[in-house]
Amino acid sequence: MTEEKKLFEELNIIKRLLAAIAIKGQNFREQVKLLSDAGLSPSEIADVTGKNANLVNVTKHGLKKKKETKIKDENKEVENG
């Protein structure tokens, strides 16, 4: 194993540990949001949370829809305001 590959694997371990610390005590939706915002892929989020990548993707989609709905509602309030 090359030094570069070894270093990359060690950095991945550190990244996963930091992610696990960051989401401790949060519900799954919030965990997905935090980890996604931090740039982790669905498969990386699944590894950290112990869930499968499909569930992560479904949760991300739900968060996106919720955000879109919130923006629409805020725009309607401004228009009707």
Q: Compute the C-alpha angle 9/14/17, nearest 5°.
A: 125
Cα 73 from Cα 17, distance rounded (Å): 38
pLDDT above 80: residue 78? no
Residue 31 C-alpha from the chain's centroid: 6
DSSP per-residue codes, 24-56? TT--HHHHHHHHHHTT--HHHHHHHHTS-HHHH
pLDDT digits (tens, 9 = 90+) for 10-63: 988 898 888 889 899 999 999 999 999 988 999 999 999 999 999 999 999 999
Q: How many CB atoms lie within 10 A of CB 59?
A: 20
Average pLDDT over residues 61-80: 83
pTM: 0.72
Query: Number of structural domains, the chain?
Result: 1
Split at pLDDT 50, 70, 90, the class of 80 is: confident
Write out the residue range of the structural domain in which residue 32 sits. Answer: 3-80
Evaluate if residue 81 carries a pLDDT over 70: no
